[in-house]
Structure 1
Amino acid sequence: MHPSTPALRFLVAESEPPEAREARRASVGRSSGETYLDTLRSLAPGAECYRIKPADAGAGLPAGESLAGYDGVFLTGSPLHLYEETPETRRTVEFMRAVFASGTPSFGSCAGLQVATVAAGGTVRANTRGFEAAFARRITPSEQGRSHPLLAGRPACYDAPAVHTDEVETLPKGAILIAGNRVTAVQAAEIRFDGGVFWGVQYHPELALDEVAGALRRQADGLIEAGLARSRDEVGAYADDVDALHREPCRRDLAWRLGLDEQVTDASKRLTELRNFIEVLCGNRETARR
């Protein structure tokens, strides 16, 4: 970046409640928002990255800041259920409506997609086909998704890290379905509302494989209840393989055993959607600021 060019300014909205935030830190050493901060700094060196916690009571932007002053807003995953009326979900949805109204481009993964959906008038429900855990398999672009810039560089069918028990039931009016799979009909979408644009995915391009392993261990009881494993030892063994692949991504034996290819094992390919968002929408906004 030229010295006279303003740095990109990113805002990460972490909607994990405090207890979930600390459980994740105890498991993998960072909250969902901290993971996003690290990922964004790797994709856009020199970017100024900030974090806000919209689900928390009393959370707000620093004095003198406005949402319009950022080049992009990023919504993290969260255990919040957007079909439940709670103070946390109300605060998070209200924040997202403010993001739309600000005109600042936004991106979200997992619960981030669900938050944007509800904020724009769509609906969310518990997964009808059960827990989608570790990886979303055989994600396929829709007809419009095949040419959408969010998926530029993705093949006709791909896998991605995913851990979720809720899903988008109905997209808001005018939204574009970008991708889906057999388990979750809405795996990626574009939502335009109140002057703002949001690109989101139900999966987690921001997650490294050690964080996928950590999520499996934290949610072992839910995986057993869902019939995806028979014991915590089985969950642990699977998570150990995922962890080992994180440490040695070129191990073909582990990739074969887990049924994964370079769309997951290659960090550059795994981050495709985030990179595309930064290059297209945030790039356009930065150009307009000059």
Structure 2
Amino acid sequence: MYQKNFITKTVFPEAIDASELWNNDLLIDFSLLSASSSSQLAKLQSALSQWGCFQVINHGIESSFFEELIEISKQFFALPLEEKLKCSAEDDIIEGYGSDAIYSGNQTRNWNDRLFLTLYPKEKFKDQCWPQKPEKFREKLVEYLKKLTQVNEAICKAMSRSLNLDENCLHFGKQGPSRARITLYPRCSFPDRVLGTKPHADGTGITYLLPEKDVEGLQILKDDQWYKVAVIPGALIINLGDLGEVYALIYVACVGND
């Protein structure tokens, strides 16, 4: 009976293989973007206005670091259940270790394990949710935040310039909060009948997604059609969330009225 909670009755159209798109129009070279390349700014503006997402390469974060971060995350999920449950928050259905927040006994649930952690500001930390094992888990995740913060600052400035705004207009994450969601998708006996993560919109300002190398599955929806997201080794997938889109529209409208 419990298994039925994971079976989706929704039928989704076949996703389009868009590898050429991700390797061209939606692929941004961070090193050129940071140097204010007009062609990369134009590509960024097009990606944001047409798709709301893109991938970025040459961002300065070593692939070896990504591999270490993914490996230490796998080590956490490989721990015994009782050890992982120590990272659950009794007073919060989102923070810490778990799966879907259950709002209804009839809801279709995601087929995943996940660890959700607030990284910034520090006063929002819930120490009981941070894994004690593996030992270097916290160190690696905090280091990832530092590296990503530098990338984020440059991306946000480039976004602002691409919209003809002052480069400091869009600075997502400056005041926080910043959160990490680490997700494991276990093998499933019915892969064609379950969803690792159900269709959703990010409620964030901006989302940085680090997929595991050679592991596909992410799709995006545009004009009622699903598109496969190509996994490019070493690239970060960047998605402008609902809040980010609203902020950008407000700033553009204000500048236009001036």
Q: TM-score range by the shorter chain?
A: under 0.3
Give TM-score, length-normalised by structure 1: 0.25
Task: Pick the structure with more helix per residue.
Answer: 1
Higher Cα radius of gyration = 2
